[in-house]
């Protein structure tokens, strides 16, 4: 049985490698180190299918370095130590500097990563780690400080098209077939920048045609065979990138962009309750007092999707998303509580003014607890000016209106009630 197309098309030299031009072009940062004959320990960070494993192997081959590989899924400290010992026992034959490639290094525990430190620091091995997760969070700082981090980007449509055409022309199995690339947009969309996914899906599509028959590749056929039309890792980096884009689009008042990112999450199989929770947070954090109805609508959305479910829940989420994105924005309430919390942490447990204290006992009443408190509802407009903050903070303000009309109205009312209060510096 032959290897998958993506494996058969794996490049043999750096010259055949497609993509990552920002690293490998003549002025690229990685190219400069290669031209100098230097190969530092490094971490390749990028989404699946962008060539992390292939590039690591090609770098070692290009500089004629011994190459060892481990997978963090199936390897442990013993495997790491065995390779380090093998390199050290090689003596002068290993002087050129062996490369140890660890795939999915983010899956290594702290102790497993610690086992690499000594060999990396002494230069016994040159470490190349590959990860789909942010190394700032997943790689221990001691190891990260000894490695250069290179970010690998998803393949562009042009890169994928080049790979596809090269496969049709050069692959020993596909050469025997008659293939027409009538439409390739769906292949590119489903791949989402993942070359391995694109090539293996393409091979599956071609395989649906009898060998003697011409294989005509169309978008409709690709969509029929593809189980998932977009790449969306609910537990990985892209999960957080897309929800970040979703919230920032709402905050930036772009309903079209917000609905697009919503569609990406829905199509990727995101939990609707997760989306609804983020809408609740956005309504409170980014809209707040500028339009209090937004929080009510977001809360109703959260309740409704638990009753309705897919696919109709998409309509409710869409309507709430568009409403929030189109709403006036304000974050005065969000900033006010953070400023008040900062004051509490700085000033500590300031005493409650006597007239505001609870007085459930005779002794407390004799001590003056609550005696000078004035009940607001007994005065015109249900308001009486008295001190509510601790003595040292009595003229302090925490609410600062933004530009929204509603927040400005609140600010003007506060000035009428409390003319002596001044904004804090």
CB 33 within 8 A of CB 40: yes
Q: Residue 371: what pLDDT?
A: 76
CB 98 within 8 A of CB 65: yes
Please tell me the distance from the alpha carbon of residue 120 to that of residue 100, in angstroms, as a whole number. Answer: 10
Q: Would you say how long the chain is, in residues?
A: 425
DSSP assignment of 267-290 equals HTT--HHHHHHHHHHHIIIIIGGG
Question: Domains of the chain, with CATH numbers?
Answer: 19-151 (3.40.50.300), 157-225 (1.10.8), 237-326 (1.20.272.10), 350-417 (1.10.3710)
Please tell me the distance from the alpha carbon of residue 390 to that of residue 386, in angstroms, as a whole number. Answer: 12
Please tell me the distance from the alpha carbon of residue 60 to that of residue 63, in angstroms, as a whole number. Answer: 5
* Dihedral, CA of residue 161, residue 163, residue 165 and residue 166, to nearest 10: 160
Write the pLDDT tens digit of every residue in 329-349: 888 888 888 888 888 888 887
Please tell me the distance from the alpha carbon of residue 34 to that of residue 60, in angstroms, as a whole number. Answer: 10
Q: Residue 127: what pLDDT?
A: 92
Please tell me the distance from the alpha carbon of residue 162 to that of residue 183, in angstroms, as a whole number. Answer: 14
| Cα maximum dimension of the chain | 103
Closest CA to 187 of 227, 216, 218: 218
Q: Residue 129: what pLDDT?
A: 93
Residue 293 neighbours by CB distance under 10 Å = 11
CB 165 within 8 A of CB 25: no
Query: What 3-state DSSP class applies to 294?
Result: helix
Helix (H) or strand (E) holding 130: strand 125-131
Query: What 3-state DSSP class applies to 216?
Result: strand
Q: Residue 229: what pLDDT?
A: 47
Sites in the chain below the pLDDT cut of 70 = 1, 91-96, 227-238, 360, 364, 366, 422-425
Q: Which residues contact 203 (CB under 8 A, 6 or more apart)?
A: 4, 5, 174
Instruction: Please indicate, yes or no, whether the overall pTM of this predicted structure exceeds 0.85.
Output: no
Please tell me the distance from the alpha carbon of residue 121 to that of residue 63, in angstroms, as a whole number. Answer: 20
Please tell me the distance from the alpha carbon of residue 217 to that of residue 185, in angstroms, as a whole number. Answer: 10
Q: Which residues contact 225 (CB under 8 A, 6 or more apart)?
A: 201, 204, 205, 208
Please tell me the distance from the alpha carbon of residue 3 to that of residue 43, in angstroms, as a whole number. Answer: 28
Q: Is the dihedral of CA 238, 243, 246, 252 positive or negative?
A: negative
Helices (H) and strands (E) in the chain, counts: 20, 7
Please tell me the distance from the alpha carbon of residue 212 to that of residue 157, in angstroms, as a whole number. Answer: 30
Q: Is the dihedral of CA 319, 325, 327, 331 positive or negative?
A: positive
SS3 breakdown of the chain: % helix, strand, coil, rounded to 5?
Answer: 55, 10, 35
Q: Could you give phi then psi for residue 119, rounded to 5 degrees?
A: -65, -35
Q: Residue 281: what pLDDT?
A: 92
Q: Which residues contact 289 (CB under 8 A, 6 or more apart)?
A: 330, 332, 333, 404, 406, 407, 410
DSSP 8-state symbol, 305: H
Write the pLDDT tens digit of every residue in 8-58: 999 998 889 998 989 998 888 898 888 888 889 999 998 888 899 999 999
Please tell me the distance from the alpha carbon of residue 9 to that of residue 169, in angstroms, as a whole number. Answer: 11
């Amino acid at each position: 049985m032959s290897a998958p197309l993506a494996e058969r098309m794996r490049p043999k030299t750096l010259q055949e490698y497609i993509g990552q031009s920002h690293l490998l072009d003549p002025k690229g940062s990685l190219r400069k180190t290669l031209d100098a004959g230097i190969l530092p320990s490094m971490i390749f960070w990028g989404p699946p299918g962008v060539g992390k494993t292939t590039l690591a192997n090609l770098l070692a081959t290009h500089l004629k370095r011994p190459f060892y590989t481990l997978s963090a899924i199936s390897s442990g400290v013993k495997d790491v130590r065995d390779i380090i010992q093998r390199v050290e026992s090689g003596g002068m034959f290993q002087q050129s500097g062996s490369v140890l490639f660890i795939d999915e290094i983010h899956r290594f525990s702290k102790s497993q990563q610690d086992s690499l430190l000594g060999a990396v620091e002494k230069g016994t091995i040159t470490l190349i780690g590959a990860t789909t997760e942010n190394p700032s969070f997943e790689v221990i700082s001691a190891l990260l400080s000894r490695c250069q981090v290179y970010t690998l980007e998803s393949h562009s449509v042009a890169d994928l098209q080049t790979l596809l055409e090269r496969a049709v022309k050069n692959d020993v199995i596909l050469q025997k077939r008659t293939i027409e690339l009538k439409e390739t947009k769906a292949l590119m969309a489903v791949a989402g920048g993942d070359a391995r996914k694109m090539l293996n899906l393409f091979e599956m599509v071609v395989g649906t045609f009898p060998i003697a028959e011409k294989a005509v590749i169309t978008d409709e056929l690709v969509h029929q065979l593809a189980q998932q039309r977009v790449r969306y890792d609910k537990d990985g980096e892209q999960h957080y990138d897309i929800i970040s884009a979703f919230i920032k689009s709402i905050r930036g008042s772009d309903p079209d962009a917000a609905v697009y990112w919503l569609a990406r999450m829905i199509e990727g199989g995101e939990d609707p309750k997760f989306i609804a929770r983020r809408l609740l947070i956005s309504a409170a954090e980014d809209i707040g007092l500028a339009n209090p109805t937004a929080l009510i609508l977001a809360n109703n959305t959260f309740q409704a999707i638990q009753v309705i479910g897919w696919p109709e829940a998409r309509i409710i989420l869409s309507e709430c998303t568009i409403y929030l994105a189109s709403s006036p924005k304000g974050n005065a309430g969000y900033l006010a509580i953070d400023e008040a919390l900062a004051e509490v942490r700085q000033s500590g447990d300031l005493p409650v003014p006597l007239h505001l204290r609870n007085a459930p006992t005779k002794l407390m009443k004799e001590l003056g607890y609550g005696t000078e408190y004035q009940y607001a509802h007994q005065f015109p407009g249900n308001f009486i000016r008295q001190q509510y903050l601790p003595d040292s903070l009595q003229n302090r303000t925490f609410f600062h209106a933004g530009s929204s009309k509603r927040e400005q109205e609140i600010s003007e009312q506060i000035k009428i009630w409390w003319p002596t209060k001044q904004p804090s510096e």
